[in-house]
Amino acid sequence: MEPLIQMRNLEKAFEAGGSKFFVLRRITLDIQPGEFVTFMGPSGAGKSTLLSIIGMLDSAWSGEYYFLEQPVHKLNVKKRNELHKANIGFVFQSYHLIDNLTVFENLEIPLSYKNVPHKERVSLVCDILDRFNIVGKKDLFPNQLSGGQQQLVGVARAVIQNPKLILADEPTGNLHSAQGDEIMQLFKRLNDAGTTIIQVTHSERNAMYGHRIIQLNDGWVVSEEKAAARVG
């Protein structure tokens, strides 16, 4: 099987005061479909930056990046956006639900950007509410939910369009451990069902849910290892 993601010598730098300042250095990695990969490393190592490049939110970098065998580095903005929309879901540390929308409406957002007809949208949202056991919360606003519940909705929102890849940047960072475990279990189940997952975490315990751990430091991939023993 071909890798889902292939990166060759990918580099990212910011200009600061006239001099270049590298955030990612010569990143070369392959991620297979169905893998559950964990990025770890100290703060400022470049994990979030790498995630946003994988998620095609960032296009200011050099090197080669193939997603589903498509050369992302050669695609124009429109093509990239299509690739992103069709295949990638995001989960954020601080959930990033939109405050003035209900749970239902928050879940609808990704669909609204994909021209899904209204009827189908409603049924997809209902499905996902069902799957995540949050039907009762559908009319609540984010600030009426606990952190764990909000992140549940966050994951549901990432999953609703049935993406091939979920990118999760410290998804449990704002949660206490019981809630965190629940979310990680959820990722595990999604991964078991075939979704590729890339997470960023500081927690060894969370890393155990994945197959592989990639350590970043100062923009360099410093080590790659199999997860010692998978939980779940």
Ligand X SMILES: Nc1ncnc2c1ncn2[C@@H]1O[C@H](COP(=O)(O)OP(=O)(O)O)[C@@H](O)[C@H]1O
List residues binding other proteins (CB under 8 A): 48-49, 51-52, 55, 57-58, 81, 84-85, 90, 92-94, 96, 98, 109-110, 113-114, 157, 161, 169-170, 173
Interacting partner of 23 out of other proteins, Mg ion, ligand X, none (Cβ under 5 to 8 A depending on kind) = ligand X
68, 74, 78, 83: CA torsion to nearest 10: 10
Interacting partner of 45 out of Mg ion, ligand X, other proteins, none (Cβ under 5 to 8 A depending on kind) = ligand X
Of 23 and 128, which CB lies nearer to Mg ion in the complex structure? 23
Interacting partner of 85 out of other proteins, ligand X, Mg ion, none (Cβ under 5 to 8 A depending on kind) = other proteins
Q: Which of 6, 38, 48, 87 binds Mg ion (CB under 5 A)?
A: 48
Interacting partner of 154 out of other proteins, ligand X, Mg ion, none (Cβ under 5 to 8 A depending on kind) = none
| 125 burial via Cβ count (<10 Å: 0-12, 13-18, 19+) | buried
Tokens of 25: 């250095």
Secondary structure class of 146 (helix, strand, coil): coil
DSSP 153-168: HHHHHHHTT--SEEEE
Please state the closest distance from residue 217 (CB atom) to other proteins, in A.
19
DSSP secondary-structure letter at 153? H
CA distance 82 to 224: 31
Q: Are 125 and 111 in contact (CB under 8 A)?
A: yes
Please state the closest distance from residue 96 (CB atom) to ligand X, in A.
15
Q: What angle do CA 147, 91, 166 make, to 5 degrees?
A: 145
Of 98 and 135, which CB lies nearer to other proteins in the complex structure? 98
Q: H/E element holding 62?
A: strand 62-67
Q: Does 23 bind ligand X (CB under 6 A)?
A: yes
Q: Does 19 bind ligand X (CB under 6 A)?
A: no
| 18 burial via Cβ count (<10 Å: 0-12, 13-18, 19+) | exposed
The contact mask relative to ligand X for 37-76 (x = CB under 6 A, - = no) is ----x-xxxxxxx---------------------------
CA distance 111 to 86: 10
Residues 167-186 binding ligand X (CB under 6 A) are none
Q: Does 179 bind Mg ion (CB under 5 A)?
A: no
| Chain residues in the site for ligand X (CB under 6 A) | 14, 23, 41, 43-49
